[in-house]
Structure 1
Amino acid sequence: MKLTRETQYVRSICLHKQEDNEFPFSLPAVQSLQKKLIFHPNVTYIVGENGMGKSTLLEGIAVALGMNPEGGTKNFNFSSYASHSNLHQFIKVTRGAQNPDDSFFFRAETYYNLATTIEQLDREGFGPRIIDSYGGKSLHEQSHGESFFATFMYRFGGEGLYILDEPEAALSPIRQLSMLTRIHELVQEGSQFIISTHSPIIMSYPESKILQLSDKGTQHLNLEETDHYVTMKQFFDDKDRLMHHLLKNEK
């Protein structure tokens, strides 16, 4: 059964203190937390241009909930380079009455490190093979897109909290559509998603909330109002005209 506002795992976040206006507090995404950021019980999208702080925000939420900053579950504790911010120390997470049975922070940027850690742990041989939870085939022996999708299909289950940072990075448009189907399956099984994405396909799930970050703050928008959708629509509606303006030679 899908979650409701009464049963969702994470209801909102906000800043409970701020030391200065340096990074990460200078980011629009973090400044927006001076007001409570309320999540949809099923799927919430965090969208916006590069540099708005989407990844920093998702990282802060994930770490505040006990997950590894480079991705994975609460049981992962690897780090190839300690580059994460201290945002998690300054945000307050309001949780729902129920706790998820599963949680996972999927970060496209550091997914290679996650795959490597799984192989290292399995070679050490302590306990059941971790890779079996990802479909049984080495993530390094698949294409980038296939290994991403293996995580969505095999590792994710019902009644889970899933924080995804740019999951479309290695997915073709067809795979992105397949991912929507997988999101829907998991939502019907009581899962909640918080997703940062640039893909209008990924952000089109109907039972969701889209929060667009900009220098002006945070806006709650419909899909068709987002900068990503507007830009892609302009391109496909009049590609030749747009390309003419983009590629014309200055005399």
Structure 2
Amino acid sequence: MEKFKLNQYLRTVRLCREDVDSFDIYPFSLEAVKNLNTLDFHPKVTFIVGENGTGKSTILEAIATACGFNPEGGTKNFTFSTMNTHSELYKYLRLVKGVKRPEDGFFLRAESFYNVATNIEELDREGDMPKIIDSYGGVSLHEQSHGEAFLSLLINKFRGNSLYILDEPEAALSPSRQMTMLARIHELVQQGSQFIIATHSPIIMAYPDSLIYELKGEFRKVGYKDTEHFQVMKQFVNNTEKMLDIIMNP
């Protein structure tokens, strides 16, 4: 197992707390950052889950930026910037990598995927080289629904032996498409890829060979069925009328 972990692309991230001047200032005041020390990543899939506003996306963005990805998303070759809103957190992170280097990778931000699609079209209009969109399925991502565009990315662009950092990928996907995503993740994991995913989806976080961190005051390793997301969804589905009555008649 240790040999396997040594060969994974990203092993650990550590917050250099000694370099932080104050944990009362953004982004260090966020719950996820304030309680971050060291996170060990699973060789295959690591999930980060928790409530909105805790700072999961900020941490994921900082990890991706520290890895060399564009803060707005895309591969490491993307350098566009529509608005400089990313935090300085990445400067305070120390990454421990394995001996292997990924052949490729992608940072997906659901909120800025539109900007990635736009940049692909701009680069294709300007260049005489083979079209970038061909590696995304050949059809403009803007001519597809958000969910179709993401599936085109997942199926056509993603490949084995790569590192993928995904922030709430379920945002554009129906439940059945989330299951399609699970199948594709499994294919890519079997081909040597590693995933780090922030998600609210009980479907996606069901991937069995994984590690789940749940943020509740601190990062805790939890089992799938022990996550609040799973328990709330199970309770709602199994007791829909009762739950609706509680929600609508407090």
Q: TM-score range by the shorter chain?
A: over 0.9
Paired position in structure 2 for 1:243: 244
Kindly state the Cα deviation for residue 29 of structure 1 after the two structures are TM-superposed.
1.5
Contact 2:36-2:218 at 8 Å conserved across structures = no
Paired position in structure 2 for 1:26: 29
Paired position in structure 2 for 1:173: 175
Contact 1:13-1:33 at 8 Å conserved across structures = no
Kindly state the Cα deviation for residue 28 of structure 1 after the two structures are TM-superposed.
1.9
1:128 alignment partner AA: P
Inter-partner Cα distance in structure 1 for 2:21 and 2:68: 22
2:231 alignment partner AA: V
Paired position in structure 1 for 2:63: 61
1:4 partner SS = helix
Worse-matched range after superposition: 112-121 or 13-22: 13-22
Contact 2:178-2:203 at 8 Å conserved across structures = yes
Worse-matched range after superposition: 53-62 or 121-130: 121-130
Kindly state the Cα deviation for residue 32 of structure 1 after the two structures are TM-superposed.
2.9
**Ranges in structure 1 where 5+ consecutive residues have no aligned partner:** none
Kindly state the Cα deviation for residue 19 of structure 1 after the two structures are TM-superposed.
2.1
Runs of 4+ residues deviating >2 angstroms: 31-34
1:4 alignment partner AA: F
Q: Identity across aligned pairs (percent)?
A: 55
Inter-partner Cα distance in structure 1 for 2:190 and 2:244: 42
Paired position in structure 1 for 2:218: 217
2:87 maps to which of 80, 85, 88: 85
Q: Deviations over 1:54-99 (max 9, x none)?
A: 1000100000011000000111011111110001100000001110
Q: Deviations over 1:166-225 (max 9, x none)?
A: 0010101110001000000000000000000000000011110000112x2111011111
Equivalenced residue count is 245
Inter-partner Cα distance in structure 2 for 1:32 and 1:245: 33
Cα RMSD of the aligned pairs, angstroms, is 1.1
Paired position in structure 2 for 1:13: 13
1:228 matched to 2:213: no
Inter-partner Cα distance in structure 1 for 2:243 and 2:223: 24
1:20 alignment partner AA: S
1:83 alignment partner AA: T
**Ranges in structure 2 where 5+ consecutive residues have no aligned partner:** none
Inter-partner Cα distance in structure 2 for 1:52 and 1:225: 19
Contact 1:211-1:219 at 8 Å conserved across structures = yes
1:159 maps to which of 143, 148, 161: 161
Kindly state the Cα deviation for residue 6 of structure 1 after the two structures are TM-superposed.
2.3
Q: Deviations over 1:139-176 (max 9, x none)?
A: 00011110010000011001000000000101011100
Match runs of 1:23-172 below 5 Å: 23-34=26-37, 36-172=38-174
